[in-house]
């Protein structure tokens, strides 16, 4: 007798900062508030935007290096906690979804794909931001840096996110904006879709993802090429 194996939806997983949403305005504003409390000058937006992409603590460390300021571990921890508190209170003042995000999510869901978020943003911040942006209910799982013992580029962050979303880790795609996302997808054996408008120290085109989409109106086509609903 053949054992019945339930069909699991293929899953499209998204990074958050620089992928789903332009979060830099509120992140940079919070960074400059924390620096000001330490008597340090703020960093111009265009310069500070390039510092984003590896989490809040790394953003502070990069900001300090740019200011040529060395701090103790205890002082850095205090700044980090202040950052988290201020950011949570001002998380969606100027943050916006990238054009076409909502339509792409709805289109993927209508075609039968499962949706999830895998981000190195703290889970509580991720949930709060996606709620304020009005799209949290579209995702079967929203997993942050602190959700599991591992985080990107460790592939277990992605595979466990897919499992939490009720999907098959062998049939997923990660949509992201940085080397971390591409490396995570490759390590997990997943497809990698890159967007070029986020936060990365290397242009996404140079990272050679499986597909590069410069607008969300091209995402569904890319997903269907890489991850057909049934194989």
Per the structure block, which two tokens stand in for 75? 């002082």
Is 181 a known active-site residue?
no
Decide: 96 and 21 in contact? Cβ < 8 Å: yes
CA distances from 222 to 125, 188, 211, 225 (A): 29, 19, 6, 5
Question: CA 143 to CA 138: how far, in whole Å?
Answer: 14
Given the structure tokens 């490759």, which residue do they identify? Answer: 186
CA distances from 102 to 58, 62, 133, 214, 230 (A): 29, 32, 10, 15, 24
Strand order of the β-sheet with 211-212 is: 141-143, 114-118, 11-14, 172-176, 191-194, 211-212
CA distances from 47 to 67, 76, 128 (A): 12, 21, 27
Catalytic site residue from 15, 17, 26, 181: 15
My answer on whether omega of the bond before 153 falls inside 30° of 0, hence cis, is: yes
Give catalytic residues, as residue numbers: 15
């Amino acid at each position: 007798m053949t054992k019945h194996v339930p069909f699991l939806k293929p899953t499209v997983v998204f990074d958050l900062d620089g992928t789903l949403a332009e979060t830099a305005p509120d992140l940079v504003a919070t960074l400059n508030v924390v620096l000001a409390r330490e008597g340090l000058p703020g960093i111009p937006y265009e310069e500070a935007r390039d510092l984003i992409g590896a989490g809040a603590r790394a953003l502070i460390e990069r900001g300090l290096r740019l200011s040529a300021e060395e701090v103790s571990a205890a002082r850095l921890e205090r700044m980090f906690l202040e950052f988290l508190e201020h950011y949570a209170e001002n998380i969606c003042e100027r943050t916006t979804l990238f054009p076409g995000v909502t339509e792409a999510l709805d289109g993927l869901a209508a075609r039968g794909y499962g949706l999830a978020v895998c981000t190195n943003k703290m889970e509580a911040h991720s949930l709060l931001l996606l709620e304020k942006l009005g799209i949290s209910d579209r995702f079967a799982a929203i997993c942050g840096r602190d959700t599991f013992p591992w985080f990107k580029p460790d592939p277990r962050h992605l595979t466990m996110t897919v499992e939490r979303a009720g999907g098959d880790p062998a049939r997923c795609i990660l949509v992201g904006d940085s080397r971390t996302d591409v490396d995570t997808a490759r390590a997990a054996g997943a497809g990698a879709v890159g967007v070029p408008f986020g936060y990365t120290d290397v242009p996404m085109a140079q990272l050679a993802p499986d597909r590069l989409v410069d607008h969300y109106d091209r995402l569904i086509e890319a997903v269907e090429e890489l991850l057909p609903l049934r194989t």
